[in-house]
A and B are shown apart, each in its own frame.
Chain A
Amino acid sequence: MAEETKTEPRQKTSSVKSTESAGKIRHIVKRMYKKAQQAKEEHKKIAYCMVMCNYEEILEAMDVVQVYTENYAGLCAVKREAEQYMQKAQAAGYSDVLCGYAQVGIGFDAWRHELGAMPPDAPDGGMPDPDMLLGCSMGCDPRWKWYQALGRYKDTPIYNMEVLMPPSDADFAAIKPYYVRYMAEELRGLIAFLEEQTGKKMDYDLLMSIVKQVEETRLWWRKAYDLRKAIPCPMSTQDHFVIFVPHHMLLTDSMTLDFYKGLYDELKQRVDNKIGVLDEEKYRLLWGVGLPPWHSMYILDYFLTFGAVFAAETAYMIPEPFDIPPDITDPVELIALRAYERNSALQRRGKEAGGVPPLAQAHLERIRDFSIDGMVMHVTRSCRAATMGQIFTRNVIRDSYPQLPVMFMESDIIDLHSYSEAETKNQIDTFMEMVGAYKKSQR
Chain B
Amino acid sequence: MAKIALRGLTRARELYEHREARAKELAKKGRKVIGYFCSYTPVELFTALDLVPYRIQGKVGKPVEKAGQYLESIVCPYVRSCFDLALGGEYDFLSGAVIPHTCDAMHRVYDIWAYYLKPPFSHSLYVPHMTHPASYEFFMKEIEYLKRNLELFVERTASEEDLLKAIELHNRNRALLRELYQMRQPDPPLISGTEIMWVLVAGMTIPVQEFNELLEETIKEVRSRRPKSEGKPRLLISGSEVDDDDLVRLIEESGADVVMDDLCTGSRSFWQDVDTSKGAIVGLAERYLGVTCPRTYRPGKAPQRFSYLGDFIRDWNVQGVILYTIRFCDTYQLDAPEMKDYVESLKLPVLYLEDTYITSPIGQWKTRVEAFLETIETRRE
Contacts and interface: CB of A to CB of B under 8 A. Distances in A.
Contact of B134 (A95, A165, A189, A396): A189
A149 B132 contact: no
Given A140-B330, A160-B129, A395-B70, A149 B135 contact: no
Interface string B236-279: 00000000000000000000000000000000000000000000
A94 B330 contact: no
A185 B111 contact: no
Given A152-B338, A185-B132, A396-B115, A160 B72 contact: no
B213 interface: no
Interface stretch (B102-110, B190-198, B369-377): B102-110
Nearest to A178: B141
Contacts of A357: 111, 115
Interface string B103-132: 111011111101100000010101011101
B71 A152 contact: no
A314 interface: no
A213 to B, nearest CB: 28
A391 B72 contact: yes
A36 interface: no
Interface string A160-180: 111011111111001100110
B15 interface: no
A391 B70 contact: yes
B77 to A, nearest CB: 11
Contacts of A140: 104, 330
A93 B337 contact: yes
Contacts of B71: 388, 391-392
B130 to A, nearest CB: 5
B72 A388 contact: yes
A393 to B, nearest CB: 10
Contacts of A145: 294, 297, 330-331, 334-335
B165 interface: no
A151 B334 CA distance: 11
A169 B330 contact: no
Contacts of B340: 93
A113 interface: no
Contact of B327 (A97, A162, A387, A390): A97
B210 interface: no
Most buried by B among A141, A384, A390: A141
A148 interface: yes
B74 A144 contact: no
A98 interface: yes
Given A160-B129, A381-B74, A149 B335 contact: yes
A434 to B, nearest CB: 19
A141 B338 contact: no
Interface in B132-164: 132-135, 137-138, 141-142, 145, 148
A384 B76 contact: yes
Most buried by A among B69, B126, B133, B354: B126
A318 interface: no
B74 A164 contact: no
Interface string A66-100: 00000000000000000000000000111101110
A185 B128 CA distance: 13
A293 interface: no
A428 to B, nearest CB: 20
A169 B132 contact: no
Contact of A95 (B72, B124, B299, B333): B333
A348 to B, nearest CB: 14
B322 to A, nearest CB: 15
A169 B124 contact: yes
A161 B205 CA distance: 36
A152 B335 CA distance: 10
A142 B330 contact: yes
A392 B110 CA distance: 12
A145 B76 CA distance: 17
Nearest to A95: B333
A93 B325 CA distance: 13
Contacts of A359: 111
B334 A142 contact: yes
B105 A162 contact: no
A227 interface: no
A189 B103 CA distance: 23
A379 interface: yes
A160 B330 contact: no
A186 interface: yes
Given A160-B129, A161-B130, A387 B122 contact: no
Interface in A131-148: 137, 140-142, 144-146, 148
Nearest to B125: A167
A379 B71 CA distance: 12
A401 interface: no
Given A95-B333, A149-B335, A389-B112, A141 B104 contact: yes
Given A141-B295, A396-B115, A186 B70 contact: no
B335 A151 contact: no
A94 B295 contact: no
A358 B245 CA distance: 38
Contacts of A186: 130, 132, 134
A164 B126 contact: yes
A161 B128 CA distance: 10
Contacts of B299: 158
B372 to A, nearest CB: 16
A181 B128 CA distance: 13
A276 B150 CA distance: 54
A182 B104 contact: no
A391 B69 contact: yes
A102 interface: yes
Nearest to A184: B134
B82 to A, nearest CB: 14
A385 interface: yes
B336 interface: yes
Interface of B: 69-72, 74-76, 101, 103-105, 107-112, 114-115, 122, 124, 126, 128-130, 132-135, 137-138, 141-142, 145, 148, 294-295, 297, 299, 301-302, 325, 327-328, 330-331, 333-338, 340-341, 352, 354
17 contacts: A92-B337, A97-B74, A137-B130, A140-B104, A145-B297, A148-B335, A158-B299, A161-B130, A162-B138, A167-B124, A169-B122, A182-B137, A182-B138, A359-B111, A384-B75, A388-B72, A391-B69
The 5 closest A-B pairs by CB, nearest first: A93-B337, A185-B134, A167-B124, A182-B138, A178-B141
